[in-house]
Amino acid sequence: MAAAEAVVPRPRALASHLPHLSRLSRLRDSRLVRGLLVGVLALLGSGVLPPSTALADASSDAQGLTAPASFRIAPYGGKPRPDREKHILIRYDRGAPRGEENGSTLTMDVTDSSDVLRLKKYGNGCSGTDLRIVCHVGEAYDSWTDAAGALPHAAPASKPGDKGELHVSFRDAKGKVSRVTTRVEVGGPVLALREQDTLRVDPGKEHAVTLGVRNTGELPADGFTVTATVDEGLAPVRRSRSCDYLSHGGATTVLCRFPGARLEPGDEAHVGDWLVLGTSRTLMYSSFRATVALLGSGADNGGLDGSSRSTAEPTPSGTSRRGTGAALVPQVGKARGGSEKYSEAKDVWTKVRIANHPDYAVLSELSAAEGGGRRLKVGLRNDGMGDAQEANGGGGATLVLTLPDGTDVRKEPMEEIDEDEFEPVCRHHESTYTCPLNAAAPGGSSTLDFEVRKGEGMGHGEAAGSGLAKAALRIGDTGADHADPDAANNTGTFDPFGPVPAEAGSGPGTGLVVACVLGGCVVIAGSAVLWRRKR
C-alpha cells in the first residue's frame, strides 16, 4: 500500500474539488462548513482518504493537468531513491486521442527553487536549461509512456530535507493553459521490509511470522503501515486491533498501522507476532506478499499515490473488519547485524511450504479406437492428502511413456499456442514420450490421451519386443516435507493392445473394462453377464 504526501489545500482550491461546497458556503451556519472542512482535512492527514494530486493553480485557464502533490528526489551525489520512486507521474487528458500532435507544449520550471532543484530532460522534442524545459507533445500526455519530458534532480548545494517547487504547465492547441505545482523534497525516509527465506510449516498448526522494517533513507519516518495479502491455505488465526482484515477470493488482506513507531535513519522495527497463520491440512504451497509505506500524510513512494499505475491495487469487494485481539507493539532500535536482508521493492514475497504429502500412482486406461487401434489414457492419480496446486508453487510431475517398438502413434496430446495453432504437449525420441502433467488434488487424477495402432512388422497376436508399454512418473518436488510415501507405484507396465470394451450396441453383457495400474491389467466383466450367471 503506497500513499503520497498530501499538501494541505487552501480553502479556495479545495472548493473546486468538493461537490456542493460552494452551496454550503452560503449556509448561514458557518460553523457547519468549518466542521466539514476540519473533518475532511483530518481524514486526509490520517491516511483514510486517498492522497491528493496537486491542485490546479488559480491562474489555470482549464483543467486536465495532474501531478502528485509532493515528490521526493535523491540527495545530490547520494543514495538513489527506490526504483518505484524515480519517475514523477504527470498527465494531461481531456479526451483527445493519445499521440495526436496538435502543437501542445509542456513546460516544467524550477527557477524559483534554483538553490534546491534542477531539471534533466529525457526523450525527444524538449529544449531549455536545467531550470526551465519546454517539450512539444501531443494533445494528451503521460510522462510514463510519452518519450518527452523532464525529471527534477537535487541541486549541488542542496541537502536532505530541503524543499522546492516544480511548476508544471500545459498549453493545448487552442491556447488554453493548465498549471499545477508539486512540492519536491530532497531525500526522505525509505522503508524496507525484511526478506525471509522460504518458510517451512507443519499442516494444521499455527505459525507466527516476524515483521521487520528498516529505514534506509536520510530522514526520520514517523509511523508506518504494512499491508500483507495472504494466499489460500494461510488464514490469519489471531486478529490484532492494530490491523484491519478483509477476505476476498480465498485470500486475506491484512492492513496494520503503527502510528507511534518513529524510525530514525538506520533504525529497525520488529514485531514478533505480526502474522499468526493457520496452515492448511491439504495444500502443499502458499505465499504472502507485503508492502510497507509511511503512515498518514508522509510519502516514501515519491508521490506516486494510489491513483498511479505503479501502485494501484484492485480494491477487494467486501467489508474490512478491525481485529479485537491484543495490540501489536513494535520494538524499535538500531539496525541489527547478521545475515538478514531487507528489500526496498514495492512488494516483498514470501513462499511457504506446508508439510503435506501427495501419494502419486501411475495410471493407465484403454479403450477401443477405429481400425483396431487403442486409445490410451495415461497419467497419475493422487492417493494422498497433499494438494500441490501447481499454480502456487510447482509440485507437478512428468510422465515418461515408452511404447513397444513399432507402435504407430496416430494421435498425441496437443496444446493450442495461438488461435487455431497447436503443437505437441510431449517431447519424444523414437518410442519414448516425455510429457508434463498437471498437479492433481487428493483423490484426483491428471492424464493425457494417445491413440495407437500396431505398426507394420508387429506380430498379430502380440506387440513387438516385450509387448508391454512402460509408464513412469518423475515427481517435480522430492523434498522431505513433500516426499511421496510410496514411490514404488510411480512406475508400471501395461499391454497397450490388451482387451477393451466392446463397441456400443454390440449386445448387453459383452462389454469389458480394462484398468491397468502398477504393472497389471484387471478385466471386469459386464454387469449383465454377472446377472445371468447369478440366475
For 225-249, the pLDDT digits (tens) are 999 999 988 999 999 999 999 988 8
CA distance 298 to 70: 10
Nearest to 55 by CA among 140, 163, 178: 178
Q: Give the C-alpha separation, 195 to 338, whole Å.
A: 13
Least confident of 92-106, 115-129, 272-286, 399-413: 92-106
For 370-408, write each residue's pLDDT tens digit: 888 999 999 999 999 999 876 444 557 999 999 999 899
Highest mean pLDDT pick, 49-63, 124-138, 393-407: 124-138
List, in sequence order, every residue forming a beta bridge with 392; answer none if it has no partner: none
306-351 pLDDT, tens per residue? 333 344 344 556 678 999 999 999 999 998 877 789 999 889 999 9
Give buried/exposed letters for 72-86 (b at 16+ CB in 10 A, else e). Answer: bbbbbeeeebbebbe
Query: Distance (Å, rounded) from C-alpha 226 to C-alpha 243?
Result: 9
DSSP assignment letter at 50: P
Identify how many contiguous H helices and E strands the chain contains and give both numbers.
4, 37
Tell which wins on pLDDT, 516 or 266: 266
Q: What does the pLDDT read at residue 286?
A: 93
Q: What backbone torsions phi and psi does residue 489 show, to the nearest 5 degrees?
A: -90, 20
Among 208, 200, 212, 226, residue whose Cα is nearest residue 342: 212
User: Are 408 and 452 spatial neighbours (Cβ–Cβ below 8 Å)?
Assistant: yes
Residue 23 has pLDDT above 60, yes or no: no
| Cα gap 228→139, rounded to integer Å | 40
pTM metric for this prediction: 0.72
Residue 296: predicted pLDDT: 61
Regarding beta strands 206-215 and 374-382, do their DSSP bridges make them parallel or antiparallel, or are they unpaired?
Answer: unpaired
DSSP 436: E
Half-sphere exposure of 143 (CA within 13 A, CB side): 26
Alpha helix stretches (DSSP H) within 304-382: none
pLDDT > 70: what percent of the chain? Answer: 73
What percent of the chain lies above the pLDDT cut of 90? 57
Note the pLDDT of residue 60.
67
Confidence of residue 480 (pLDDT cuts 50, 70, 90): very high
Burial 252-270 (b: 16+ CB within 10 A, else e): bbbbbbbeebebebebbbb
Query: pLDDT category, 144, cuts 50, 70, 90?
Result: confident
Q: How far apart are CA 211 and CA 276, in angstroms?
A: 11
Question: What pLDDT sits at residue 502?
Answer: 60
Say what the pLDDT of residue 204 is.
93
C-alpha cell at 371: 481400425
Rounded CA separation 23/463 (Å): 91
* Residue 52 near residue 67 (C-beta atoms within 8 A): no
Question: What is the C-alpha separation between 221 and 295, in angstroms, rounded?
Answer: 9
- pLDDT of 430 reads 92
Largest interatomic CA distance in the chain:
105
Q: Please tell me what DSSP assigns to residue 111.
A: G
Residue with the bigger pLDDT between 203 and 372: it is 203
Is the pLDDT at 302 greater than 50, yes or no? no
pLDDT band at 507 (very low <50, low <70, confident <90, very high): very low
pLDDT surpassing 70 at residue 88: yes
